[in-house]
Structure formats: structure tokens, C-alpha cells
A and B are shown apart, each in its own frame.
Chain A
Amino acid sequence: MADTKAAGMTAKDVEDLLLAAKKADHNFVMMRTKEGVVLEASKVKSCEGLVTACKAKGGQAAMMVQGILRAEPKLFHMHTEAEDVPRALPRLAKRFFKSIGVKAKVLVHLPGGITLDDEDESEGGDEAATGADDGALSPEEAAAEAQKAELTERLKAMVPQVRAASEQGLAGADKLGEAAKAAGTELAGGGLEQAAKLIDAIEAGLAKLAGAAGVDPAALKEKLLQEYNDLKAKLPALAGQVAGPMKAKLDALAKMFETEIERDLKKASQALSLLKQLAAAELAKIGQAVGEIAGRIGDAIGGVVEGVRNVVGDAVESVTTGKEEQDELAMLRALGVPREERASLLAEWKADPAKARAYEAKLIEDAKVPEDRRADLTKLRETDPVAFAEAIRALREIGAKGNADTSPAAMQAALEKAEAARLEMEQRAGELAVEQAALNEARDKSAEAAAATAAAKSGVAAADRAVADLAASVPDPAALTPEDRAAFDAQMQALEAAREAARKALADAEAAEAAARAEQADRQNDTDQAAAAHGAAKGTFDAAQAEAEPAEAMKGLLDAVSFGPLSPGAKPALSDDEKAQMIGLFGKDARLASDAMEVMRGAEDPGMVARNAGFIGSKFADGFADKDGNGLALSDDDRRTMATNALKSGAQRGEEYFRGFDEYLQSGKQLQPDPHGGMADPLDDEDAETQRRNAVFLGRSQAMAGAALKDDGSVDFGSPGAKDAMDHMLFHPGSLKTYAPQMTEKMEQTKALFTDPATAAQAQQRIKDTGLPPDDAAHGAAARTLIAGTVGAPDNADLTDNDARAAVLGAMMTPLSQGPVGSCFSTAPVRAIRETDPMRAMDEYAKIASTGEFVAADGIAYPANTKLPEGENPLMRSFEYSVATAAADERSSRERSNLRSGLWDANGPGRSLNDVRGIVGDAAWNDSNDPATGAIVPGVRQKLRSAVNSKLKFEYNAGPPVGAGPAGGGGGDGRSTDGRYEILYNGAALRDQAAFVDAITAIALEASGFAAGSVEGDAIVALVSGQDFIDSVVAAGGPDGYLPWELEEGGFETQTLKALNGGNPAETPMIAAAGTPPPTMAARSEAVLSAIIANQGAMNGDMHQIGTTGDNAMHAFNALPNHPSADKIKPPDTAGKIQSELKDPGAAIAASKIPADKAARMFRDQLKDFMRGKPADDRALIMEAMKRAPDAEMTPAELKQRVADEMAAWRTQSAQRALDAWFPERNAYLASQGLPVMPANTKQGYLNWFETEEQKKLDASLDTQLMREFKPPEVVIADTNWGGSENQIYFVVVFDPSTGNLTMWEKTMPDGTMKPLGKNWADSMWGVTN
């Protein structure tokens, strides 16, 4: 269906729209216009896009409604999520449609079930009688709109106060929140009078909450009297319609109020509340019998309706009744106890509080809470009644799923049962894989046999034809001469023999094919059996998991409310309602609840995450269904991942994310496939998985850039297409499964460049100016290759200027971090540009796209590098790599200068290559001129210089290509922590003095023209290999020495800066490397932190390049001088502030005791988390260790030691496995480099190193838990460059709760995972580049 519209359209158009909206839901926007209304509707365009269209047609945004349009014959249903829809709109629409000859009714459905009719306020339903057909507001309507606006403003103004009161946990604040919601509903539905009353009540309630004493009796009395008098004036009308006993009740309550108002305001308010309740209940009864009267009476008492009518009363009650009573009321409400029963119970409990306790105890008992945990729930009831009620509901849900025995023995048994089932399943999966492979092989053989048969058949046919052809060529053999006849016979015999052979071959082939087919059938049978066995094993495993789930859920819930994040007094503090939302998740899925709590604890606004947890849980439960209930067919794991990542996104992006997610799900777009491949499962092979993810991310950047770019070359992130694309990035299941929050953030940042007035014009112009290189551009081919790769076009595609622009946008949307084969020395400076000066980054991308070149600050141009890591964003990486090339050129130049100095500059006999002059003679030594060409003909001296230049290459070696290991470097993992330059001769690195001498000797002999063995040649060999010569080379490096076979560690970070910005940047120490003996980690961490803080004043911008030089800690990265976490320790008195802001709070945490239950929980959580993905042998050991959880309170350090002790067996086994894998791999690498391999008898010597590494992983897992648990104050000191589309890693200094030391950490964001940084980093020299 094409887009449809109803502005200025004919009757047929409206009829068409009615028909279209009847067949399928449409997004719509309707606005008032001078003529009446304008209506835009579309199945594909978003409402945002339709708003623009409406405005373009004279629509007034102040009076609009938007949402989903459905239709019946002659009836439009407009469903909207907005609550403040102008009441006049339906009527205006109806009139407008009538004016163009269409009789169509319009109903606007508001949230909460309220419907605006086109008859509303129509003076008896006859719009013609109102005289308002011109669409203008009547005076009454105008007054109503004005009052509505005034009330809306008042309501908006009080919302923050209500929220703040709720967050502070003030008694009654929750009720004020309900009243505010009700007021909003009333406003939207036009119930201005009731809304005004609600707002009055909320303001009064807020005023009382604001006072330290809580209640202003005089004001409250006045308010209650006003309420009562309003009601009392109408009571006779109501009483006249009710039976005698009810009338008596009403009278009694009225009398009670009049008595208590002078004595006890609380009792008076209760009487008033009950009076209202009874009145409302009777109203409902009367309404069923005599609706007309009910309506009239309803109006008479203020338009009270079910659901909102007593909110004022509740709000007043909440600020006047005691906290205990409020809590009981809140609990009963949350449990869903009907109002009448609530009142009855409350009255009963008031008379006998023990009954309240008994009621609660029964709830707990019925929920099958173990006796030893019941007190925890009782405590929760006392502090968080709504959360308690939600816990009871969740426990009921859990109980309905199965037996929830949370005893340690039962849970361990369930775990072991599930583990046994998992092993069985894995074994069957292995068998199935073997059978499947055999089947595939059999299928291949069968196909080959079939092909052979076909070929044999062709052979027989050919042989038959040959015999027939020969026979046909000689119709009468008898007529032949004897000689010809003999030849004919011989030929015929040969052909017949060949035919016989062909027939035999066919028979053989057919037999072989039959055998192959039989074999295939056998294999198919085996495979089917293996598949069935695997299916059965999987069923057993799933059943075992499901069986364990209720106990896990119950224990998780009880732990969370007893001592976990939802317990009384836990940090971060949550309101009662927020806790309730989180608790509700346990009823849906225990693991989701656990994951959600982790997200919540790491969030900047935990309450916001908690408030939306219920929504996410409900979507998890319904399969993220659309508005019609169509859900996603995903595994539990995928749904859990999707839900958790949605929570993470919301935690990062705020409340708006959840609203957008809801809208997206309603639309059904989640049911469409992900064209970028985000729904695919991760691959086992790490490299393949990296490439898969890169391809997904590249696809996303292409889609987003393409959607934002318009045909005219401008960028519009507000277009419907761009909004859809961004929604896809934020909300689609593929985006939440293959999760890339950093990339999404970059997309938002890029969008901001084009929407922020400060940068929009410049950004638009930059993109507009970008285009393909001219056809004759020197490096246009490189540019086109990069553009094609970045936008996903084939290499030979006909590209356009817009492709170049899209490439630049795509590069901008891709995080520039250190890739898997990255080098910090090139990444750090370009990342700083991308992060702090995005306009320049866009400029650099645009230049490369438009020219295929990078021009360094010294004016030298370099062709853009086109050989880049597969799958990564080509334009983004080419910028980094091209800058790196320029820097490497510069660095090589410096290294070459150093080498030249070492070889040539020393004075004295035997100390430099100048002595070759005496060996070859002046004539050969000096240059000459070629008389024919005029060229300078190099002499031996120049030849020697040139040969050294051309034959010795300088190359940066980031480290070995496989894992770090005790004897290896660390650069191969993309972290460049142990890299250095090397001199290569004939492709081999010169890594010792002998290799260096050999290379120089060979070069010198070749340049001289003399061979070894000649007098001159031997003299040259003697010179170069002489100790004087070597000494002078080394001496060229000054006191530190210059060793060409072991060049200084480090990279080319200053050269990269120079290539980008010019000048002569140099690194100066902020703090020297640790001396001997090195200080403790705590002392060194503090010293490094102090040094960085002291240097921050001289740093520029938000990122400033720094570096470390140390053992396996060579790194260039960026300090974050303006990070707010450092404000608390900035000068003056940094030392004092470090003590008070970091060390003192940390020490208190370290000394604290973790309760036994909590310690046991943390112990098990860590071990269970650690089990994931481990081999079966490891899992068995960890399962065994899990039996020995702590049973006494302990400090964080004691808990860490306990984990280390119990995991010792696992650690040794895992370390041995890692060693077994590493040792041959390392030797293969050494061999490939021409280095001596490690003898087999040295292998076990490395076991301890691997055990330490395994322990570090274990520690990191617990450290993350401890950090989340205690949240010690931190200072973020640097951005490491490490990261990508998924996350980014920072260096932080935090007190370690488990060691009692100030320590340096890697912190991964946005997850907040913490990992201790090795002491080698702290002990390094930390320098700043200026």
C-alpha cells in the first residue's frame, strides 16, 4: 500500500484510507489546520516523519495526535500513547471529513483505556448545533484548553519533587506518584476538575513532605474539610438512590468525620476515605442498574471513576497515617488484594496488629520459603512492603514451575545432575559430528560413483556408435578387396573389443555406485541414530536445567533480598517500587534477574534500570512480541542476551531508550531479519569470529551511513530512513545479540555533529565537499578501493560522489581503537584526534576518500594504504595505517641516521667504515661522473652508504604472533607491550652481534667489489669484525650504548604525532622507572597517580599522549586530564586527598567482614561463572570445589584466598593444558625466526608462570565481583586504545578490597569489568609527550 493522506483529499481518498487501515495498521499523525485537520498515515514511515509532512501542510503541532491507525467501516480508531490529546480533535476531524463528503466516525484511544469520542463536548452530539463547524475553538473549549495548559504546567513542575521524594523513600511518596499519574490520565481524558483536585492534593502532600515535621495540621484540616464539604453537598443525591443500610453507613461515616476532624486528623482522613470508597462502590452498583442516573451522580461528586477516584484520598491518607499502616496498605495493593478486602484487613489489623504479622507469615509460608530465610523476608516487608509483595508473587511463580529445594545438598545434586547430562549431551554431540562427517564423505563418494557411472555409460554409447558407424561406412564388406576387408575386420574387432571393455567398465561403475549408495544409506542410518541419541541427551539436559531452575531462582531471589543488591540498606539504594521491579524478574527467569542486577549495579542511574526491569522482563517472557502478540522464536539464551543487552543500552542511554524500545517492539520491526548477520551464533574459531563480527559491524556502518545520506549529498539523521536505521542499531534483536554499544555510541556522536548547531553547518559542508577523486588522480584507484570496501560495493562498481560521502560517514561511525593486529604507536595519536576533534577526523577521512593519499605535516604525500585487516572499516583503518606509514618512514630515517652515525662517525683507525678507503684506494673510494650521462657515479664510499640504506631495512616487531608466555613478547595480541624496531638484512632480523657483523661485512665486500679471500676482502672482514669497530658502533649511543642488534624498545609514537601535527614532539618522564628494590604496588600506584595528576595541568585537551616504558609494558596511549573522577584529588594537597578520598574508604572496605551467606554466594557465583565454556575435566574440578563454599564471615582478602585454595587443583590442570599448547607453538615461532628452540626438558619450568596466569584470571573474576559489590572510589587516568565496537578499556587507580592496597586496574566499559594491571606497568617509566 502506498503512503496515504487525508489533507485536501477527496471522499474517495478517505474511503481508500479507511479500507487500507482496515487491512493493516498504519502509523499516523493528525494535526489541526485552519481548514480542519490534516491526517498523514503510512505503513512504513515513522510518526516522526509524518509530523514533518503534516506541518508542511499547515498542521499545528500544538494540537496533534499520533500513533497507530486502524479502521472499521466508517470508523477510524486512533491509538496513541500520549495522554494529553486535545479533546476537540476527534470532533474536528469528523467535521472535516463530513465537509468533504465522507461520513466517518473518529475515536481516539488513550493509554489506560480512555477513549475520546468525536461526540465529546459536542453539545448533545449535534455538531451542527454548536455553530463550531469552522474548526475554531468555542469560548468554552478555549477556556478548557487554557485550564488544561495551566494544570499541565503545575503537574510538570511537581514531577521532579515527587520523584525526589520517592527516591528518598519518604513515607507516602509512592502514593503521590500514583496521584501524579492519575492526574496525567485525567488531564489527557479531559477530566480537568478531577485533575485539578489531584494536583491540589499532590501539592499539599509535597508541602507536608517538605516540612521536617511532615504534616501541617491546619492546612490538612482545611483540606479535609474542603474535600468533605464537596462530597457532603452531593451525598443526598447519592443517598436517595441507595438502600437503607448503605445510607446508614454513609451517614455514620459522615458523622465520624465530623467528630474526628476536631480530634484526630488521621482518623478523620480515614473516615473520609472510606466514605468516598463506599460512595464509589454504590455508584458502580447504581451505574449497572440505572446508568443515566449514575452518570449524573458521578458528575455531581466530581467525576470519580474506578481506578483514580480515591487517589486523592490515598494521597492524603498516605501523609497522615502511620508508616506501618501505609506499608500494610502498599503491600496489600501490590498483592492485588481488592480495595474492599484491603479496608477490611487494615481495620482488622489495626485492632489486632498480631493478625497482620500472621497474615505476612502465612504469605511467606505459602510461598514455601525455607524456614531459615523467612526472617529475611519479614525484614523486607518492614522496609519495602511493595518489594515484599512482589517477592511473594515471584515466589509463587517460581513454585509453580517445580520443586524449589534450596538446601546446599539439593542444589549441588541438581547441579551435578545437570552437569552429568551436559557431559552426556556433549559426548553425543561429538558422536553425531563424527557420523555426520562420515555421512558427508559417503555422500561425496556416492556422487563420484554416480558420475563415474554416467561417464561409463557415455563410453558405452560412444563405443556402440563407433561400431555402428564403421559398419555403416561399409555397406557391403564382401565387395571390399581382400586387403581392405582384412583391414576392415581388424578395425571392427578392435572397436568391438573396445565396446566390450566399455560395457565392462560400466558394469564395474554401476556396481561401485551401488556399493557407494549402500554405504551412504548405512551412514545415513548411523547419523540418524546419533542425531536421535543427541536429541535425547539434549532433552535430558534441558530437563535437568529446568528442574534446577526453581531452586536457583528462589535462592537467587532470597539472596538478593537478604544480603544482595535488593536487601535493606544495600548500595546503590533503590526505592521500594524499584526493588519490586527487579524482584519480578526472578519469577520470569533467574539468570536474567541475576544479569539484570549486575547491569543495575554498574549503571550510573541504577534506579532507572530497576524501574524498567519489569518492562524488560515482560518482553523477555512474551518473546519480545509486537502489539499483536507475534513474538520472536529465539532460544532462552538469545532472549536472555537480548534482554540483558537492552538493559545495558538503557543503562547507558537513559529512560528514553526504554520508551523507544517499547515503541519499536510494538511496531513489529523486530520480526524482520537482520541484514547485517547479527542473529548468527558466535563461531568457535577466535579469528573467524572476529572477522564475522567485523563484517556485522561494517554492515551496520554502511546501513546507517547510507540511510542518513540524501541524494543531494546532504546528511539528514532525522529522515524516516535514518530513524529506522538507528532504531535497528538500538533495538533489533541482531543488534542486541551481536552487541556493539561503542559503535552505536559513535553513530550517536556522528549524528550529533550534524544536529548540533555549533558543528552542523561545518559538518554538512565537509561532507558536501567530499567526492570521488578525479579520473586522472594519481591515487584515485586506492581511494576507490577504500570507498568500495567501506560502503560494501564491489571493487569494480560504478561509484558516485555519494559513495565517497557515505564512506566518510561510515568511518566516522566506527570506533577507532587498537585492532587485533594494531600498534599503540599509531593508534594513540589518531584515536585522540577521533575522540577529541571529530571534525578533523572527518576531514582526514574525506581527504583520503577524495585523493587516495595521506599528506603528512611535513608535506610528504603517501599513497593511502589499501592492505588492511580483513573485515575492518577500510577507510578508518587506512587513515591509521597511512599515518603509521608516514611515521615509520620518519622513524626509519631516525634509525638510519643512528646506524649511519655508528658506522661512519667514529675517528681513529679500525673504528669506522671510512677505513675501507685505505683498503680500496682513493680512486675507487670517491665518486666520479659518467661523461655520457652526467650522473654521479658512486665510488665505494657511496656504494657502501647506498647499500647500507637499501639492503638494511628497519621494521617494527610488535612481538610473536601467539600468546604472551614467559619467554615471549606481548605485542602479538594487539597490545604492543613488548615491541621494538629491528634491522632486517635479506628479510631476516639481525638479533645478535654476529648477525650484524656478517651483514655489514657482506655489504662492504659487495660494495668494494672484493671477495673474501682476496687481500682487500680479508682486510675488510678484519675491519668490520674487529673489536674496535664494534666498540665504536656501540659507543655511538653514548652512555646507554647503541646496539644495532637490540634496538631500543618502543615504537614510533612521537613520529606519528609529528606526521599528524608537525613539530618535534618528544617524550619526557613524569615518573622514572621504579628503582631497586622496587616499591610495593600500593606505593608505586600512588606515586604514578600523583605524577600524572601533577602533570595534568600542562596537558592539552581531553586526551593527551603519554606512554610507559617497562618490562613487557611498552605502550603509547592517552591520559584523560579532564576526567571528572580525578577532580577529587587535584592539587592542592593531592597526597592528602588520595588518603582521604581513596585510601581511607578503601581500607574500611578491606577490613569489613562479608557475612557468611553472602561470602558463600560470591564464592559459588564466581565458580559457576568460571565454569562457563571450560572443558569437561575443568568443570568437574570446579564442581568439586563448589562443595566447599565458605560457612563463616570473612574479609574480601580471606574470600579471595579461599577461592584460590579451593581452586588449586583446577589451576594446576588448566595451567598444564595451557603450557602443553604453548610450548610447541612457541618453538614453532622461534624456529620460524631462526632462533634456537627451547629444549623439551625446560618445559615444566614454565608451569609456575602459567599457574600464576590462571590465578590472575580467577582473581580478575572475583575482583570484578568485589568492585561491583563495594564500589570503592576510583580515578580514571587513561584511555588505553584497547577496545573496539563492543567495549573500551581504561586504566584506573582504585583501592583493592582484597589486598588492602591502592592498585592500578584495567576497567572495561560499559560493562565495568575490572582486571588488575600487572606490577610491571606500575614499575615502568611513565612519560608524557609534548
Chain B
Amino acid sequence: MADGMPPINFDYATDGAPVVIVAEAPAKNLDEALRLAPALGDPKWTAAYAQVANHLAHGDRFSVILDPEAFRTGYLAQREAEDPAEAPAPGRIRLRNYGIPAFDTIARPGMEGGSLVFFAVNTSLGIPYRVTMAPGAAPVYRPVAMTN
């Protein structure tokens, strides 16, 4: 276990709301999580902080990108595997429905001007989002820029 960081697991409450289990204690929001695991506020643990914030915000609807290169490789492979001739249909999720994400902008979680910035993939769609969380605010998810 990392210095100062208690064990953290992701789970869901009986009502379906995302929770994080810090050691044995459940936290339903980021303040509680920070209280139970103050190390999350340490810039050293930004990645964990991003994962916790992401889980509490959207559960498994988004997943934090920790390895941008692996994400890029997987994304392009999946896109390539899709049949370009397949007829489109509403609700038919394909990466070819969109352009190519600006992979060079995708980075590991970090702090920018006091805000936590990380990238997360929408689990259903497979497309990346840039997430910005200002201090005391909820994370804001914006789809990463794309080119044709």
C-alpha cells in the first residue's frame, strides 16, 4: 500500500449510488472520501483522486484513462475493426460515428491551475472525455476534440 493511502475500493450502495470504500468505511461523496483518506488531496495521489472523483460522479459510466498510449492503441484498433460499410442506425454505438479524438491532448490525471484535470472514457460509447474539477466543484465532462 502506498504511503499514507488507505485501501480504497469502488462499490455501489443498495440504492445503486456509487460509493467508495475507504478501508472499511463507505464514502458517498468526495468530501467524505477526503476525510477518510486525506492523502487523496496530496498531488502525489492525483490519479487515485481522479478515480475516486470519477466513480462518485458517474460510477462505471466513465473510466479514468491512466495510460493514454494504451487507450489510443486500443481505440484505433477497435475503430479499425468496425465495418465501415455497416449501415448506421440510431443508438448503434460505433467509434466510426465520430471523427478521430485529439489523442495528443489526452494525458494522465494532473492538476492545472488548482483544478484536477483527467481524461475518462465513456464506457458505453468508447469515446474520451476531458474532465475538469475545480476545487469544491463537481467534475465537468467534455468530449475530447475530434478531427475528421
Contacts and interface: CB of A to CB of B under 8 A. Distances in A.
A169 interface: no
B134 interface: no
Contacts of A827: 90
Interface string A975-992: 000000000000000000
Interface in A878-906: 880-881, 884-885, 887-889, 891-893, 896-897, 900
Interface string A776-795: 01110110010000000001
Contacts of A926: 7, 9
A953 B96 contact: no
A982 to B, nearest CB: 12
A645 interface: no
Contacts of B114: none
Interface stretch (A491-499, A954-962, A1288-1296): A954-962
A424 interface: no
Interface stretch (A354-362, A933-941, A1014-1022, A1095-1103): A933-941
Contacts of B94: 867
A947 to B, nearest CB: 11
Contact of B125 (A885, A896, A941, A950): A885
A863 interface: yes
Contact of B9 (A867, A941, A1052): A941
Nearest to B109: A935
Interface stretch (A738-746, A817-825, A1030-1038, A1070-1078): A817-825
A427 interface: no
A889 B125 contact: yes
A934 B147 contact: no
A979 to B, nearest CB: 10
A866 B1 contact: no
Interface in B74-102: 87-94, 96-99
B88 A929 contact: no
A956 B123 contact: no
Contact of A779 (B9, B60, B143): B143
A440 to B, nearest CB: 28
A785 B148 contact: yes
Given A889-B122, A929-B1, A935-B51, A867 B96 contact: yes
Contacts of B12: 900
A941 to B, nearest CB: 7
A949 B61 CA distance: 9
Contacts of B8: 927, 929, 936
B60 A782 contact: no
B75 to A, nearest CB: 12
B10 to A, nearest CB: 6
Contacts of B42: 934
A891 B127 CA distance: 17
Contact of A953 (B5, B52, B93, B144): B93
A777 B97 CA distance: 18
A933 B66 contact: yes
A1251 B144 CA distance: 55
A1051 B91 contact: yes
A226 interface: no
Interface string A890-930: 01110011001000000000000000000000000011111
Contacts of B113: none
Contact of A861 (B1, B96, B123, B143): B143
Contacts of A934: 2, 5, 42, 44-49
Given A933-B66, A934-B47, A949-B123, A942 B10 contact: yes
A233 interface: no
A860 interface: yes
A1248 to B, nearest CB: 32
B48 A782 contact: no
A779 B146 contact: yes
Interface residues of B, number: 49
Nearest to A830: B90
Given A785-B148, A934-B45, A934-B47, A949 B63 contact: yes
Contact of B89 (A889, A891, A928, A958): A958
A487 interface: no
A929 B124 contact: no
B141 interface: yes
B33 to A, nearest CB: 12
B142 interface: yes
B104 interface: no
Interface string B1-40: 1110101111010001000000000000000000000000
Given A782-B99, A861-B142, A929-B2, A950 B45 contact: no
Given A934-B46, A934-B47, A955-B93, A881 B124 contact: no
B144 A888 contact: no
Contacts of B5: 929, 934
Contacts of A928: 1-2, 7
Contact of A826 (B61, B91, B98): B91
B145 interface: yes
B145 A945 contact: no
Interface string A826-868: 1100000000000000000000000001000000111101111
A823 to B, nearest CB: 5
A1057 to B, nearest CB: 14
B140 to A, nearest CB: 8
A865 B97 contact: yes
A931 interface: yes
A275 to B, nearest CB: 79
Chain B CB within 10 A, most for which of A777, A861, A869, A927:
A927
Contact of B16 (A779, A826, A897): A897
A820 to B, nearest CB: 9
A888 B66 contact: no
Most buried by A among B48, B124, B143: B124
Nearest to A932: B2
Contacts of A1051: 91
Contact of B98 (A860, A865, A929, A955): A865
A946 interface: yes
Given A934-B47, A935-B47, A1052 B142 contact: no
Nearest to B127: A863
Contacts of A777: 145
Nearest to A869: B88
A945 B98 contact: no
Given A885-B125, A927-B9, A778 B141 contact: no
A884 B63 contact: no
Nearest to B89: A821
Given A781-B99, A936-B51, A881 B141 contact: no
Given A933-B66, A955-B93, A860 B148 contact: no
A926 B23 CA distance: 10
A935 B91 CA distance: 34
B7 A896 contact: no
A887 B142 CA distance: 17
Most buried by B among A825, A867, A887: A867
Contacts of B89: 821-823, 956, 958
B2 A821 contact: no
B67 to A, nearest CB: 10
Contacts of B124: 888-889, 892-893, 896, 953-954
A931 B2 contact: yes
B123 A823 contact: no
Given A926-B7, A935-B48, A936-B8, A778 B145 contact: yes
Given A863-B127, A892-B123, 20 more contacts: A778-B146, A821-B88, A821-B89, A822-B90, A826-B91, A862-B125, A862-B143, A863-B98, A867-B98, A868-B88, A869-B88, A880-B90, A888-B91, A929-B2, A930-B2, A930-B47, A939-B9, A949-B63, A949-B123, A961-B87
28 contacts: A778-B143, A778-B144, A779-B146, A781-B148, A782-B146, A795-B148, A863-B99, A863-B146, A884-B91, A885-B90, A885-B91, A885-B93, A892-B93, A893-B61, A897-B16, A900-B12, A927-B8, A928-B7, A929-B48, A931-B2, A933-B47, A934-B45, A936-B47, A936-B48, A945-B10, A949-B60, A953-B93, A1051-B91
